[in-house]
Amino acid sequence: MASPTDQMHMVTESAQHAATMAASTAESMSGHVTRLSGVVGSVVGGGWHMDQAFAFGNAHQNWADGMAKLIAALNKMSADTTMHMADYEETDTAQAAQLVRTVQTPSFAGIL
């Protein structure tokens, strides 16, 4: 479990890795779904007309629908992580610049 201190500071390399892995996993899963759907379509549509074919086709469609939701969630997670990482970096840069300006310009203007 992350400590409160860790939660206040994003490790951008880790966030980028997570975003990349989520997108890569979604792409890989999408390819597998497409290939498997082609195989199922050739078996079910290739002359198998028994009740089991209908049930198998429905079960496969339910699975494919669930996979589509999972793939969409992984893609959203990747996009959201990338967006929030960019926002974090922008905020960090702006705050660092403000801190530099504050340190370089003493508030007492040289008068003690």
- Domain ranges for the chain, please list them: 36-82
Q: Is the pLDDT of residue 109 over 90?
A: no
Q: What is the mean pLDDT of residues 96-101?
A: 83
Rounded distance between C-alpha atoms, residue 84 and residue 90, angstroms:
10
pLDDT top residue among 65 and 107: 65
Least confident of 49-58, 64-73, 81-90, 103-112: 103-112
Looking at residue 9, its pLDDT comes to: 62
- Structure confidence by residue, pLDDT tens digits, 37-57: 999 988 887 878 888 888 998
pTM of the prediction?
0.73
